[in-house]
Structure formats: C-alpha cells, structure tokens
Amino acid sequence: MNLRPRLVSWRFDDEVRSDNSEEWNWIEITMVFTDGSRRWSILYTPERLLNNLSRPDIDPPGLHMQQLIVVRSYEVHDIERVLNVFDEEDKLIEASREYPE
C-alpha cells in the first residue's frame, strides 16, 4: 500500500498577467497535500522561459531549479492536468520544494 502524500489543492502565489508578450518572470504556486504539508513550485511557460534566457543581461545565461515545472499555459485547466499527472506518477514531490514554515 502506498501511503505517500497526495495533492489536495494548489493556488497561485503570484498574479498571472498575460498582457505582455515580453514578460519573462515565472509564477510560483503553493500546493497542499493529504498529510497537511505544503510545497511550492515555479511554473514557466515556454515563451516566458525563452524571454528570460534571451535577456542580454542574464548571467549566467542558463538555469537549473529542482522545483521548475514547464507548462503550456497559465490556464488553470492546463496546470491542474500537469499537477495531477505528476502526482499520479509520483513525481510531484520531486518537482517541488518543502514550503518554508
């Protein structure tokens, strides 16, 4: 029997604005699990990730984050689908960080 924590809910920690095609910042989310724990992840769309890495002043010109999840869009249904699949495949804990209390 697998008693690992499962995703109960999630919420945006940042305002999602899609009115600027030059936007490069990520969006953070907080997730709550069945054991009461909270974890967070960074969501990037491919466009925003490209915008970030294309900035002339970015140094170093690359990044690595354990808690980074790339999503097609910041639409709730896209994010929920990705989070649910990662949770079902036991990858969501790995793709997030423990929430600082």
- Report strand pairing: 97-98 vs 7-12: unpaired
Whether the predicted pLDDT of 5 surpasses 60? yes
Q: What is the full DSSP assignment across 57-93?
A: T-SSS----TTEEE-S-S-HHHHHHHHHHHHHTT-TT
- Mean pLDDT, residues 17-45 taken together: 91
pTM for the model stands at 0.90
Tokens (6 digits) for 85: 């699949």
Per-residue pLDDT of 47-88, as tens digits, reads: 999 999 999 999 999 998 999 999 999 999 999 999 999 999
Map out the domains of the chain as residue ranges: 7-15+22-98
Closest of 31, 5, 29, 4 to residue 16, by C-alpha: 29
Tokens (6 digits) for 7: 């995703």
